[in-house]
Amino acid sequence: MWTIMHLADIHLDDRREAGEQERCLDAIVEELTRRRDAGSPVDLLAVCGDLVDPERGRRQREWERNTWRAFLRACADAGPKVAIIPGNHDRPADIAHFADIDGVHYFDRPTAWSLTNKHGHTLDVYALPYPETRYWLDGTGAGIEPHAQVSGADRITAIERRVRTQLAAWRKRGSADPAVLLYHGAVTGASVRLGQPLATSDEPKLSVEDLDGVADLVLLGHIHFGQELPSVSGPVVYAGSPWPHSFGEEGQANKGPLIWTVQPNGCVASERLALPYIKRVTFELHWRTNEAGRGRLVWMEGTDYHGPDSEPRGAARALVPGSRVRIRIVHPTAASSAIDWRGIEREFLVAGATAAKAVPIPVRNASVKVPELLDRRARTVWEELDAMWAATGTGPAGAERARFRNAVLHLDELALAA
C-alpha cells in the first residue's frame, strides 16, 4: 500500500497576513510527522506545480525561497520522498535548487521515475510539468518561462499532440506496479469554480481520455478549484489550492491537501487535510434612498440579515470573527462622500474580523439609483441631489461639488436623450 499527499497551487505570497501560510505549512508537516509516528508514513509528497506567487518582487522571492526550503526539508525529514513539477508560474531559477535537499526530486521535463519501499514494492511515478513551448516546440531545454503564454492555435495543437505521444509511450510501458501521474495544466471538462467551466483560452489542454490508462491515479495542478473529473481508469483530480488565494475562492470547502491511499490492485481512496487558513467572506451593502431623499446603506437584499445600518448582524455577525472580510458597497457615485468607509471597516473589525476592506462599487447612472426621480421629471437629478445634500448636510463641497454637478448633469442629458 502506498500513501501519497497531493499538493498543488500553493502560490506562496508574503503579502498575506503574517503567519497564516506558515501555520498551514506547519500543519502539513505535523500531519506527515503524525502519520510517520503512527507507523503509517506518507510515502510520496507530490507537489504539482505553481509553488510561487506570480506578482512578487525580489524581497518576496528571498522570503519565498527560505520558506519553501524550510518546508521541504521538514517534509522530507518526516518521511516522504518529495516530487516537484513546475507549473506555469514557476521559474527554474527559483525552484530547481530545491532538488539539492535530501529526499526532494525536481522534474523539469517528462520523466518516468519510481519509488521502492522497504518491502521491495515499486510505485511508478510519471512526472509531466506544465507543457511549455521552449521544451515541446523549440527544443531549447528544460524548464518553463514564467507566465508562459503559448500563442497560436497551431502551436498549441502541436504541443498537445507531442504531450499525447509522451502519455501514450508511458501507457504502453504496461508496468504491473501501481502508477501515479503528476501533471500541471488544463484538462477539459474541469471548472474554475462551481458552475463555471474552464475557458477555451490559449493554452494546451488535455482531455481525460488522453490521461486514461496511463496511471492508477492522476494528480493535477493548475486549477484552484479542487475537483475530480469523471474518468474510466482511475481518479483524475485537481487538489485545488490548499487555501483561498482570493475572495473569488471564498466559501470553497474543497481546500487543503489530499491524502491518497493506493492499494496493489489499483484501488484508491482519499481524504482531505483541513488547514488553519483564514476564511474570506464578502458582504454587500446597498445604498437606498427613502421618500425624503435621504440615503442610507442596507444589507444586500436576498439575505436574511437585513439591518437598518451598516453594522453586521444576526447570521452575518457569526461569519465575521476570524475572517478576512470584504464589504462591497453599491452606491450612486454621487453618494460616495456620504459613506463612512473607515467607520464601516471599523465595525467589522470590532465584530472580530482579522481584516476588513470596504470596496466601492459606484453606480454611474444616477437615475437608476434614485428611482423616485423617474416619476417626476420636473426636477433634474442634480437638483434632487443638491436638495438632498442641503437637507442632510452631506455631499462634497467646492470644486468637488462642481465636478459632481457636471457629471450628474451629463447623466441627465444622457437620460433625456434616451
Per CB under 5 A, residues contacting Mn ion are: 50, 87-88, 222
Residue number, 206 or 334, with CB nearest to Mn ion: 206
Residue number, 8 or 28, with CB nearest to Mn ion: 8
Residue 313 CA to residue 275 CA, distance in Å, equals 28
The β-bridge partners of 361 are 330
Nearest-approach distance from CB 222 to Mn ion, in angstroms: 4
Residue number, 108 or 347, with CB nearest to Mn ion: 108
Nearest to 258 by CA among 241, 277, 279: 241
Nearest-approach distance from CB 223 to Mn ion, in angstroms: 8
Residue number, 50 or 132, with CB nearest to Mn ion: 50
Residue number, 31 or 50, with CB nearest to Mn ion: 50
Residue number, 86 or 110, with CB nearest to Mn ion: 86
The β-bridge partners of 183 are 128, 220
Contact 28, 22 (CB under 8 A): no
Nearest-approach distance from CB 15 to Mn ion, in angstroms: 19
Amino acid found at 128:
L
Nearest-approach distance from CB 184 to Mn ion, in angstroms: 6
Residue number, 163 or 408, with CB nearest to Mn ion: 163
Residue 202 CA to residue 208 CA, distance in Å, equals 19
Residue 69 CA to residue 82 CA, distance in Å, equals 12
φ/ψ of residue 164, rounded to 5: -60, -40
Q: From residue 292, how far is each of 194, 372, 390, 411 by CA, in Å?
A: 42, 10, 12, 22
3-class secondary structure, 79: coil
Cβ-Cβ contacts under 8 Å for 360 (sequence gap 6 or more): 329, 331, 336, 341
Residue number, 248 or 307, with CB nearest to Mn ion: 248
> What secondary structure does DSSP assign to 178-227, as a single string?
-EEEEEESEETT-EEETTEEPP--SS-EE-HHHHTTT-SEEEEES-SS-E
Which stretches of 245-403 are assigned E, i.e. beta strand?
258-262, 268-272, 280-289, 295-299, 324-332, 355-363
Nearest-approach distance from CB 152 to Mn ion, in angstroms: 20
3-class secondary structure, 1: coil
Nearest-approach distance from CB 140 to Mn ion, in angstroms: 21
Nearest-approach distance from CB 119 to Mn ion, in angstroms: 36
Nearest-approach distance from CB 210 to Mn ion, in angstroms: 18
